[in-house]
Amino acid sequence: MSISTVTAARILKGQYSGLWEKEELVWETFPYSAIIKTYTTDSQVADSAASANAYLSGVKSNKGTLGVDVNVDLGNCSAQLDDAFHLSSLASWFQDAGRSTGFVTTTRVTHATPAALYAHVADREWEDDQEVRRDGEDPDRCDDIAEQLILSDTGKRFKVVMGGGRRNLLPKAVTDVVENKKGYRNDGKNLIDMWQRQKASSGSRAAYVWNRQDLLGLDTSNTDYLLGLFGYSHMDYSIERDNTQDPSLPEMTKAALEILQRDAGGYFLLVEGGLIDLGHHGNKGKKALTETLEMDEAVKVVLSMVNLQETLVVVTADHGHSLSINGYPSRHTDILGVAEVSGEDYLPYSTLLYGNGPGYRTHIPGHRPDPSRQDMAGVNYRQDAAVPLRSAAHSGDDVGLWATGPHAHLFTGVYEQNYIAHALAYAACVGHGRTFCGGGVRRNRGVETCRGQRRWHRQRC
Ligand SMILES: [Zn+2]
């Protein structure tokens, strides 16, 4: 969600509301904002795994690795096994402090962003055991991400897990409940069943749901643990979603908060609008922007449910995409349309353009397709890209961060991405470092002392 994505989504929201360029996304009303530098230990341009390590664990790492530090190179199973190289995340810090945790995403629950909360793997693609084996490694040695979600110490302690990706939790012998396809797992494990048995054996009130009706009908006040898997792979784009089947990101966010907010000691929730990135990968501007507006709705739900005197809300992006808003379109011009002026080839071009990706079309003068003669309003229209790539690459430009609530003032300036995790831990009095509640290591004592304090910003606990 590059800055250009935020700007373009704001204008699209304004097209719908009539406010056009003057419109605001919900987080643009937050009192504090910052600029975040996203480069990784080995790349100027981040992927979602390395960037999630940074903002969720406070340590920059190599591209493609999850929950491990710079000592683990991409795909190095042996290095993955060394505990000394493992990172701990905000989720585990909150859990160690006795607080509730959860995450909600529109991607697979085993995808890079959520996985950085609970997994330690040398390759983000090891979402199930067959993918570990495909890379010539032994899945019995190097546990895959889905297994770590259900069986790891951090994974087991999530109160809320919602997103897509049933295929990575199901064995090959099992056919998916919606799609007529088999699970991906070679090891025979049905991790969804295992999760249900695990919670039942501990006497917890747990619910597994896979469709919107069951989620909306769930009595969240009597649910301690919730696993919601609403897609065989990623969830569908909001503009293509079957609303009778799949919940929206705002609906999942609401259910997650209803469960987590029952913890009087506080909670941590990660909400990811993961399909913004996927839309951009296809150079499909309309999908990326409408997913950004879906995130906007989710943040609106958050603000309607939390007390900003005691809850810090932070909105940011893991990395950018090479979207540019260019030309000189007049005010009140469709952001998904043409920029009004023509190029030197006397042909119009779209306001939104990409640096690279599958939207590449010939640039030979006179042969460039005229975008105004194409279905630019279509959900699958690809804006032009300068360089052909099957899937668009990310961009390395800085991203934005917007914050409101206690300690939001910690985000005013230009920061390394890994600063985010430390600032959040400081504010929430969790983790191993220095916190608002006092010096590091005495975290349990600090948390106990902090409980019940509401006026965090005025009073030391
Ligand atoms: Zn991506």
Strand partners, 403: 32, 314
106 lies in some domain: yes
Distance 112 CA to ligand 1 centre (A): 9
Annotated binding site: 111, 113, 272, 277, 281, 318-319, 394
- Tell me, rounded to whole angstroms, the distance of Cα 85 from its chain centroid: 24
What pLDDT is attached to residue 365?
81
195 lies in some domain: yes
Q: What is the mean pLDDT of the chain?
A: 94
109 lies in some domain: yes
From 272, 303, 322, the end of a domain falls on 272
Residue 450 domain boundaries: 432-461
Strand partners, 157: none
193 lies in some domain: yes
- Of 299, 308, 314, 261, nearest to 456 by C-alpha is 308
Segment-wise mean pLDDT, segments of 10 residues, the chain, 461 residues: 98 98 98 98 98 98 98 97 98 98 98 98 98 97 98 98 98 97 98 98 97 98 98 98 96 98 97 98 98 98 98 98 97 95 92 98 88 96 97 98 98 98 98 87 44 40 39
Distance 21 CA to ligand 1 centre (A): 27
14 lies in some domain: no
Distance 277 CA to ligand 1 centre (A): 5
Active site residue 43: no
For the domain that residue 152 is a member of, what is the CATH number?
3.40.720.10
Count the neighbouring beta carbons within 10 Å of the beta carbon of residue 84.
7
29 lies in some domain: no
Active-site choice (2, 4, 33, 48): 48
Q: Report residues near ion ligand 1: CB below 5 Å.
A: 277
Burial of residue 34, with CB atoms counted within 10 A of its CB: 0-12 exposed, 13-18 middle, 19 or more buried: buried
Annotated binding site for Mg(2+): 111, 113, 272
Annotated binding site for Zn(2+): 277, 281, 318-319, 394
Distance 408 CA to ligand 1 centre (A): 27
Distance CA 266, CA 257 (A): 11
362 lies in some domain: no
From 272, 305, 320, the end of a domain falls on 272
From 256, 272, 288, the end of a domain falls on 272
333 lies in some domain: no
If one counts the domains in the chain, the total is 2
